[in-house]
């Protein structure tokens, strides 16, 4: 059994992580921390976990966490980097669901997150946890930076095209929509039902924090910088991300459907839909899948890729569990064989 600690178990990502870990056949949940809810039974705060988790939240204790085999950080940005060095030195493996170790350049981190990096010496070692790109490196990693939700949907959508060199890289467009849970569990006026229902809006158009992460990942795929326009939108749903991706096709004879089907044939959590399909966010709700459809715009060289994920699962907690499975040599799908919820 893998002895697991979860730091920050009260947010949407944290409770989703607990939901998945509670039924994982190889996991023993040992520590679940929350400074604000210390002493409260987990099941009292999240009644869906009643009869599955009998632990109480506790203060983050480095000694207790050092007794774990792996610690997940489901904390706000800037927290994991304060504790990771000590835990890694104690032999604990880390999966950070925040952004602390995603960007390799500490100056870029400070530019986008407004604080100096507290653990620069581990940035080069941290492995970016997109299994479809970095599975081998993840398997031996001490520290995995779990990707963001938008970056997961966008990178998986563009990956086959960029690997094959089938499209130009100067003008890539990611038009993305997210459910309100992507904003987190903290109270804010912008996330109120009366503010989000029956409405949709773009936000962070001048620059979203996920932009440098996506650019970094796409540049690693094609080994050169890319020109990316990324526009996120808030939609009146709780869960889900829908990414509509555009690129100019350089290889006019490319069989796009075959390209995607071949690239993802062995991937357990990427589902390439039949030609002409339009994936829906409800088809991945609560599940660790990315469902993709690829189209060629009529009478043009424009490629349109549709990529959908659940932002809390494949976009966060599910992918984190997938990374843990890889790190410990388990069946990659262990604890993740959940069918999406419909309706």
What residue segments make up the domains of the chain, in order of their start? 2-125, 150-311
Buried b (16+ CB within 10 A) or exposed e, 150-170: bbbbbbbbbbbbbebebbebe
Q: How confident is the model at residue 246 (pLDDT cuts 50, 70, 90)?
A: very high
Residue 184 has pLDDT above 90, yes or no: no
Two structure tokens written together for 299: 């009478």
Active site residues: 149
- Give per-residue pLDDT as tens, 113-165: 999 999 999 999 999 999 999 999 999 999 999 999 999 999 999 999 999 99
Paired with 95 in beta bridges are: 72, 144
Which residues are CB-neighbours of 291 under 8 A, at least 6 positions away? 270, 271, 273, 279, 283, 284, 307, 308, 309
Q: What is the mean pLDDT of residues 200-208?
A: 95
- Please give the pLDDT value at position 279: 98
Residue given tokens 């690829």 in the structure block: 294
Of the options 3.30.360.10, 3.90.420.10, 3.30.160.100, 3.40.50.300, the CATH number for the domain spanning 150-311:
3.30.360.10
Q: Is the C-alpha dihedral spanning 256, 261, 262, 267 positive or negative? A: positive
CB 66 within 8 A of CB 87: yes
Two structure tokens written together for 196: 């989000």
Name the CATH architecture for the domain at 2-125: 3-Layer(aba) Sandwich (3.40)
- Please give the pLDDT value at position 300: 86
Q: In this prediction, what percent of the chain has a pLDDT beyond 90?
A: 94
Tell me how far apart the alpha carbons of residues 162 and 146 are, in angstroms, rounded to a whole number. 22
Q: How confident is the model at residue 243 (pLDDT cuts 50, 70, 90)?
A: very high
Task: Tell me the three state secondary structure of residue 289.
Answer: coil
Residue 177 has pLDDT above 90, yes or no: yes
- Please give the pLDDT value at position 142: 98
- Give per-residue pLDDT as tens, 211-227: 999 999 999 999 999 99
pTM: 0.97
Tell me how far apart the alpha carbons of residues 84 and 93 are, in angstroms, rounded to a whole number. 9
Residue given tokens 């963001």 in the structure block: 148
CA angle 342, 152, 339 (to 5 degrees): 25
């Amino acid at each position: 059994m893998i002895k697991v600690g979860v730091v920050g178990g009260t947010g949407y990502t944290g409770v989703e992580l607990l939901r998945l870990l509670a039924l994982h056949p190889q996991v023993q949940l040992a520590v679940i921390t929350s400074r604000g809810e210390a002493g409260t039974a987990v099941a009292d705060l999240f009644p869906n976990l009643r009869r599955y988790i009998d632990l109480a939240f506790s203060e983050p204790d480095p000694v207790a966490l050092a007794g774990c085999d792996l610690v997940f950080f489901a904390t706000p940005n800037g927290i994991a980097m304060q504790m990771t060095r000590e835990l890694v030195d104690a032999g604990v493996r880390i999966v950070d669901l925040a952004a602390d170790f995603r960007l390799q350049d500490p100056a870029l981190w400070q530019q986008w997150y407004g604080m100096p990096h507290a653990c620069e010496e581990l940035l080069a070692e941290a492995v970016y946890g997109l299994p479809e790109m970095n599975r081998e490196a993840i398997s031996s990693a001490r520290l995995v930076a779990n990707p963001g939700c938008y970056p997961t949907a966008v990178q998986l959508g563009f990956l086959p095209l960029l690997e094959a060199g089938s499209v130009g890289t100067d003008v890539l467009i990611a038009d993305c929509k997210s459910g309100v849970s992507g904003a987190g569990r903290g109270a804010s006026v912008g996330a109120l039902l009366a503010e989000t229902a029956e409405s949709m809006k773009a936000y962070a158009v001048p620059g979203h924090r996920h932009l440098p992460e996506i650019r970094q990942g796409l540049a690693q795929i094609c080994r050169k910088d890319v020109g990316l326009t990324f526009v996120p939108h808030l939609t009146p749903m709780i869960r889900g991300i829908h990414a509509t991706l555009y690129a100019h096709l350089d290889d006019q004879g490319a069989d796009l459907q075959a390209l995607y089907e071949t690239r993802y044939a062995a991937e357990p959590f990427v589902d390439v839909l039949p030609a002409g399909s339009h994936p829906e966010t409800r088809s991945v709700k609560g599940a660790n899948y990315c469902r993709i459809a690829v189209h060629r715009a009529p009478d043009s060289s424009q490629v349109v890729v549709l990529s959908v994920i659940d932002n809390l699962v494949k976009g966060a907690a599910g992918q984190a569990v997938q990374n843990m499975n890889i790190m410990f040599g388990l069946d990659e799908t262990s604890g993740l064989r959940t069918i999406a919820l419909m309706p």
